[in-house]
Structure 1
């Protein structure tokens, strides 16, 4: 047992440094950035599709109550604003080439990280409250056509969906994105350090 403890102590003191070339690290980081860009683009497409679907509903269906028009207006404006915010953040990571402007890209990535933090915190609650308000006004007319059981099911499912998105789903997305972006920033900082460091002979 003493021999094992000694081996373990020696192993802990021994530092193993695995060196990757800057090109290998850059290729890996670019692959991760492409994945991040693809996911961001999918989010934008999904939000744009929701905007178009709700706008089409508003144009092609006849609603009698003014509350329905108010509800759809609030929902469309909210989705539109959120889509523009997502597009602004997407441009931060898509417009600059790291190899041409490494420091600018790093700054953009850090701004993107900060924007995502705001998006999933203060801006998210604005989005949730505005969307819930829009749904509330929309439901005033729509629920009048339902019986009591259907009303309870519709309100209950809507409430549970908003609750799920605001708690479990939101926390999981925040954790995953936070780790992913922090790791990317660290990788690009290491690549910058390797590129800018003078070669030792």
Structure 2
């Protein structure tokens, strides 16, 4: 028999002894949703402030070379892309509601997981390519005014940070996010499987 008409809110309210740790699962799901929403909103805010500061610098300083302007535009496009991807996450997170049916709830969580996987693969790859190219073009005008050592140091430190972010910080963040959402989805799928067997 299908469980389409059963929702998690009903199950949580019953506090049935037959379904173990249901309150813990509910709490984990709710905490995950709140944390994801706060984290996503913080990322959107910080990226927006960064974009505003870059636009201000672009407006105030009279850059002589086209490469500097091109670099700023590429950095702003990278930030705009990432803000857009994060805003898509907000839309998905807001649809996650334990009062809807279990099928819809799981579908919302899986949609969020799919959105995160897209961000972690294609989205962040495009972001880093644009950001790296943007910094390369942006620093060119300043590098011409520096000594060879200064220019090498400026480029080296910038690209070292990007490499650390790409090869070290990004994989850790992806693993952490995937573990959290997978834990919630697996727990809820286990409940659904138990209900299918008992009904």
Q: TM-score, normalised by structure 2?
A: 0.80
| Preserved contact between residue 71 and residue 138 of structure 2 (Cα < 8 Å) | yes
Q: Are 2:131 and 1:107 equivalent residues in the alignment? A: no
| Preserved contact between residue 82 and residue 127 of structure 2 (Cα < 8 Å) | yes
Alignment of 1:36-47 (within 5 A): 36-47=36-47
Greater mean alpha carbon deviation, residues 122-131 or residues 73-82: 122-131
- Partner SS state of residue 62, structure 1: coil
Deviation at 1:36, TM superposition (A): 2.0
Partners of 1:115 and 1:73 lie apart in 2 by 26
- In structure 1, runs of 5+ residues without a counterpart are 1-16
- Partner SS state of residue 183, structure 1: helix
Partners of 2:98 and 2:19 lie apart in 1 by 24
- In structure 2, runs of 5+ residues without a counterpart are 1-17
| Preserved contact between residue 25 and residue 191 of structure 1 (Cα < 8 Å) | no
Q: TM-score, normalised by structure 1?
A: 0.80
Deviation at 1:101, TM superposition (A): 4.5
1:8 corresponds to which residue? Answer: none
Structure whose alpha-carbon radius of gyration is higher = 1
* Alignment CA distance shift 1:121-1:28 (3 Å): closer
Deviation at 1:193, TM superposition (A): 6.0
Partners of 2:19 and 2:198 lie apart in 1 by 17
1:29 corresponds to which residue? Answer: 29
Deviation at 1:149, TM superposition (A): 2.1
What is the RMSD computed on CA atoms of the aligned residues? 2.4
Alignment of 1:16-165 (within 5 A): 19-20=20-21, 22-165=22-165
